[in-house]
Amino acid sequence: MPTIRRQIIDLLSQRKYGARDLSQALSVREKEIYAHLPHVARSVISKKQCLQIIPPRCISCGYVFKTRKRFTRPSRCPRCKDERIKEPRYQIL
């Protein structure tokens, strides 16, 4: 059976996923997915691929977190202070 990171790479190579989607598909906690994503990003570089991060977006005002380097979902919007944030999505290209 492949490792969790290998399974994450296989899933993200097929289409875009959020951390919650990955955790449900692999039956692991969402926090564990966030812990694996930096390692996945480093390991796909050796295969001449990259982990693309579709940035999170505020649902209320539309603010896009373009410069965010962390893989986790932000807790609230810096512009309108609302907590309804669309989670980031990931894909391997």
- The tokens for 57 are 């977006």
Tell how far CA 45 is from the center of its chain. Answer: 16
Enumerate long-range contacts of 19-22, CB under 8 Å, 24 or more apart. 19/71, 19/72, 19/73, 19/87, 19/88, 19/90, 20/87, 22/90
Q: Give 19-78 pLDDT, tens digit per residue.
A: 999 999 999 999 999 999 999 999 999 999 999 999 999 999 999 999 998 999 999 999
- Residue 67: CB atoms within 10 A of its CB come to 6
pTM of the model: 0.90
Domain annotation for the chain: domains and CATH numbers: 4-92 (1.10.10)
- The tokens for 67 are 């410069």
